[in-house]
Structure 1
């Protein structure tokens, strides 16, 4: 099986996505979405940004490599009565099922950045977005002191080294890399804009319970715990993550979690 597919079908990312709903809706509300706009959400999960875009009247297609998340997205859309939103399985490196110039807006929040061939991702996004449309990516920032970058860094320190040729998803935050990748897709640098933004993980329980959700349902963290168990370091990993989540929690209530995480917002106009 495709290693990326196996990673994101592991566990149940919908459990993590519940803590991301509010920020997903807030981000989409600022994208100027109007009724009938054709929107692609690439690496969509179960619809954290696709669903609110459809609720604003866009015609939305969510594409994800994980079949369980596609099924969950379609179930959410059906439950909400959103006939203008559907989900299908696909690989961000090769959107062969999608025609050229199909979408007015392509979104990928913390999704396509994890695909293994970044230049192919850029080319695919540009190909399916109409000239004059927009591509908006949200990418986690390497070595950023906020939650997700540190979570991934800690998890990597307990995991085996990646295979030869592996390109870290965190390289999507380096502006020169982004410019180079979209440049290979034919987009000049002056049509690429960068901004720092903040995403919140809001969870109606203490931080220790959110750590448990990541441990039990988030593929990269699950892999880290499996590797840590083999070396007898599970307790160390648990302590590090509980400290990380606790330090970054901004909620005044001990029974509520609200953790900010900084990301790079990339806007491309093909």
Structure 2
């Protein structure tokens, strides 16, 4: 199986996505999406941004490599009565069957950054965007002190070295890499903008309980615990992650969780 597909089908990211809905809606509000636009949401999960895009009146196609998340997205769209939002399986490195210049917006929030061939991803996103349209990405930033970058940093310390040729998804959070990748796709630097933004995770239970969701349902963390278990270091990993979640919790009550994470918001004018 495609390793990226295996990673995201391993857990159940909907458990995490349920705590990301508010920020997904707030981000979509910034994208100038209007009724009748065609939007491709790439690496869409179960629709954290795709569902709000459809609620703005756009015709939305969500594409994700994980079958379980595509199925969950279609169920959410149906439950919301959104006939203008459909989800299908696909690979951000090769959008096979999707015509050139067919979308007004191509959006990928913490999705396409995890695909293994970043130059191919940039090329495909540009290819399917209409002239005058926009590509928008949300990418985690390497070394950032906030939640998700630290989860991934801690997790990577417990996992075996990646295979030769592996390109870290976190490299999408570096502006010069973004400019280089879209540059090879034909976009000049002056049509690429990057700015830091924040994403909020909210959960009605303690940070330790919330961390347990990442342990049980988030592919990268699940892999880290699998590796740590084999090395007798599972308790160490659990302690590190629990301390992280507790230290970053901004909720007024210890029985609730409110965590913010900084990311790089990329806008490409095609």
TM-score class normalised by the smaller sequence: over 0.9
Q: What is the alpha-carbon distance in structure 2 between the residues aligned to residue 79 and residue 173 of structure 1?
A: 34
How far off is 1:103 after superposition?
0.3
TM-score w.r.t. the length of structure 1 is 0.99
Any idea what SS the aligned residue of 1:259 has? Answer: strand
**Dislocated runs of 4+, deviation >4 Å:** none
Aligned to 1:252: 252
CA distance in 1 between counterparts of 2:58 and 2:255 reads: 36
In structure 2, what is the equivalent of residue 219 of structure 1?
219
* 2:19 counterpart SS class: helix
The residue aligned with 1:117 is 117
1:28 alignment counterpart: 28
C-alpha deviation, 1:255, in angstroms: 1.2
Within 5 Å, give how 1:51-200 maps onto structure 2.
51-200=51-200
Structure 1 unmatched ranges of 5 or more: none
Quote the residue 1:263 is aligned against: 263
The 1-side partners of 2:83 and 2:255 are apart by 37
Look up the match of 1:233.
233
SS in 2 for 1:19: coil
- Is 1:210 the counterpart of 2:210? The answer is yes
CA distance in 2 between partners of 1:210 and 1:107 (Å): 27
TM-score (norm 2): 0.99
Displacement of 1:223: 0.3
Quote how far apart the aligned CAs of 1:253 are.
0.9
Query: What CA distance in whole angstroms lies between the structure 2 residues aligned with 1:249 and 1:97?
Result: 43
Secondary structure in 1 matching 2:130: strand
Cα separation, 2, equivalents of 1:190 and 1:61: 28
SS in 1 for 2:81: coil
**Where does residue 4 of structure 1 map in the other structure?**
4
Q: CA RMSD in A?
A: 0.5
**What's the secondary structure of 1:124's corresponding residue?**
helix
| Partner Cα distance (2:84, 2:158) in 1 | 43
What count of residue pairs does the alignment treat as equivalent? 270
Question: 1:246: Cα distance to partner?
Answer: 0.6
Query: C-alpha separation between the residues in 2 aligned to 1:155 and 1:46?
Result: 24
Gaps of 5+ in 2: none
